[in-house]
Homo-oligomer: A and B are copies of this chain.
């Protein structure tokens, strides 16, 4: 009867849903009560048709001829994207990047709470970052067990990232966000997402060079150009 058909949501769509949710939060703060797909898509930087398709995975949640209820859609998206309950996260490697993350208010407002900060440097252990004490790396398993954290964030040097990852997984963490420039190996059932800032810059550099079009290499890659030298 009530066919709550569990449609599979593509991961690319899930990422965009998170963006829509943030835009909706801004609209709600602005006092808006409804939005059209066009307006929402514009604010999110995507195609209106694509946005409607994304939302259609959640079943009909708009009103034809009017648009979407800001409050209603926000609630629905929050529900789909992992509930409104606070998700405990542990952060390993409280260096420059780790400190910035731990101190960032934007995560807590979206339900992500750092419940454990860990580092191996004795000079860092014991200090407070973002109102939380930094624990020694040896207590990783204990912290995960005590807090029930299911998300782990790795901001350690690359050399130890795999080891830290293994320990997180063994302790029960099943979702990992990795900032270290290495490909982590994890058993099935564990999800890893990688943020690689060097790669982002490198892609920009490539696009830059491709635009310039003067370099020989680019000429070889262009549609109808022949390699001039060599």
B110 touches A201 (CB 8 A): yes
In the complex, chain A residues 177-230 whose Cβ is within 8 Å of any chain B Cβ: 177, 181, 183-185, 188-189, 191, 193, 195-209, 211, 214-215, 217, 220-227
B201 touches A151 (CB 8 A): yes
Which residues of chain B are within 8 angstroms of A87 by Cβ–Cβ distance?
205, 208
Which residues of chain B are within 8 angstroms of A174 by Cβ–Cβ distance?
208, 211
Is A154 at the interface (CB under 8 A from chain B)?
no
Q: When chains A and B are docked, how far (Å) is the Cα of A179 from the Cα of B196?
A: 13
In the complex, chain A residues 53-99 whose Cβ is within 8 Å of any chain B Cβ: 57, 59, 79-83, 87, 89, 96-97, 99
Is A8 at the interface (CB under 8 A from chain B)?
yes
User: Copy number in this complex?
Assistant: 2
Which residues of chain B are within 8 angstroms of A59 by Cβ–Cβ distance?
220
Is A106 at the interface (CB under 8 A from chain B)?
yes
B224 touches A6 (CB 8 A): yes
Q: Chain A: interface secondary structure?
A: mixed
Which residues of chain B are within 8 angstroms of A215 by Cβ–Cβ distance?
83
> Shortest beta-carbon distance, A54 to chain B, in Å?
13
Q: When chains A and B are docked, how far (Å) is the Cα of A46 from the Cα of B185?
A: 11
* Candidates B4, B18, B103, B226; contact of A4 at CB < 8 Å: B226
By a beta-carbon cutoff of 8 Å, the part of chain A in contact with chain B is: 2, 4, 6-9, 11, 14-15, 18-19, 21-22, 43-46, 57, 59, 79-83, 87, 89, 96-97, 99-101, 103-104, 106-107, 110-112, 150-151, 174-177, 181, 183-185, 188-189, 191, 193, 195-209, 211, 214-215, 217, 220-227
7 A-B pairs with least C-beta separation: A45-B183, A82-B205, A18-B202, A96-B100, A175-B204, A6-B223, A18-B199
11 A-B pairs with C-beta separation under 8 A: A18-B203, A19-B199, A45-B183, A57-B221, A81-B206, A89-B201, A101-B197, A104-B197, A174-B211, A189-B211, A193-B204
